[in-house]
Amino acid sequence: MSNKIDHSSPRNSSQKAPRRRTAYLKEIVLPSDEHRFVGRIYDLSIVAYSFETYEEMAQYPDCLYALNVNNVLSALTRRMESLNHVADTLWLEDRFVVEPNLPVTRYEWLNICADTFLMRYVSLFDCALLLVNEVFEANIRPQICSIKNLKKIGVSEAVVAVLKEMDSAISELRNERNERFHRGWEREYTTDDLSFKSSTAHEHRGMLMTGHDQFGRPIDQEKFFREGLVNLQRDFKKFSLLFVKKLNMLYYVLEDEFEVRFSPKFNDEATGFGIKQKLGR
């Protein structure tokens, strides 16, 4: 079965069609646990295997502090790692592009990829706030953990400055996330999303759509799909690499704060598990 689409639009004759960018960007793998602060916390978390129960472990403030920080840090690194799974949905093998063996239409695939990326990317900042909350032992409820409330309890200016930079880095995509999830707005993936969406809906149902898009170009679902993937790849690389940079800055300024708080607990003659195990200074 064949369907035909032709847009009778002034743009066909008076406006030049935008250039399609369909060459894949170089794929990246985002680091999640390379910073020495992450390694330090992971190493300390091994102490959990020394206890049979949480109650037994909680008797030692040094162990409790290290493991509490490890819990929120692990959530943050897992969320960062999950972005690499998003990347796997954007850097597809050619067989999925040329012969779309996808469970949804090509247009819907891009929508799902964008939803996943936006939610997981923006939540990285929330995870970072919770990490600061735990390192500083602020005990702020997660629902109200914010830069403003962290500042109220005395978080250092250096940490606040980095958090503000991180907040600024995600602001553009946070706005898009809010528009998409709270107001139903959809981003445009190609130079002609109307033709792309319509043609791929027919394609998914085994009906070839022919004709021309609003710029007079022959309908080409493969080119549309590649164009949409590349647009998402560009945002993924730009914003993800920026956040990795800011996150490493945060780890750097949290290192000293963690050690200042952990060391006295570790070396406490009465309650330090470290000193009890003859590991203290």
pLDDT tens column, 81-92: 999 999 999 999
**More confident site: 276 or 28:** 28
> Does 25 map to a domain?
no
19 inside domain: no
pLDDT band, very low/low/confident/very high, at 22 (cuts 50, 70, 90): confident
* Of 278, 277, 275, residue with least CA distance to 266: 275
Between residues 4 and 87, the one the model is more confident about: 87
Check whether 121 has a pLDDT greater than 70. yes
The verdict on residue 231 lying in a domain is no
The number of distinct structural domains making up the chain is 1
Residue 1's pLDDT is 46
Burial track 150-177 (b if 16+ CB lie within 10 A, e otherwise): beeeebbeebbebbeebbebbeebeebb
* 6-10, 16-20, 150-154: the lowest-pLDDT one: 6-10
User: Confidence class of residue 280 from pLDDT cuts 50, 70 and 90?
Assistant: low
- 234 located within any domain: no
Is residue 3 pLDDT above 80, yes or no? Answer: no
Q: Is 141 within a domain?
A: yes
When pLDDT is averaged across residues 123-152 and rounded to a whole number, the result is 97
Residue 199 belongs to some domain of the structure: no
pLDDT (0 to 100) of residue 5: 59
> Global pTM?
0.89
Say if residue 7's pLDDT is above 60: no
Tell me, yes or no, whether 155 lies in a domain. Answer: yes
Q: What domain range includes position 248?
A: 34-186+240-276
Task: Please tell me the predicted confidence (pLDDT) of residue 81.
Answer: 96
Across the range 97-111, mean pLDDT stands at 90
- Bigger pLDDT: 48 vs 280: 48
- Is the distance from CB of 18 to CB of 219 less than 8 angstroms? no
Q: What does the pLDDT read at residue 102?
A: 87
Q: What is the mean pLDDT of residues 212-240?
A: 93
Tell me, yes or no, whether 75 lies in a domain.
Answer: yes
pLDDT band at 8 (very low <50, low <70, confident <90, very high): very low
Instruction: Decide which of 5 and 251 is more confident.
Output: 251
For residue 60, is pLDDT > 90?
A: yes
Mean pLDDT for 37-43 is: 96
Length of the chain: 281
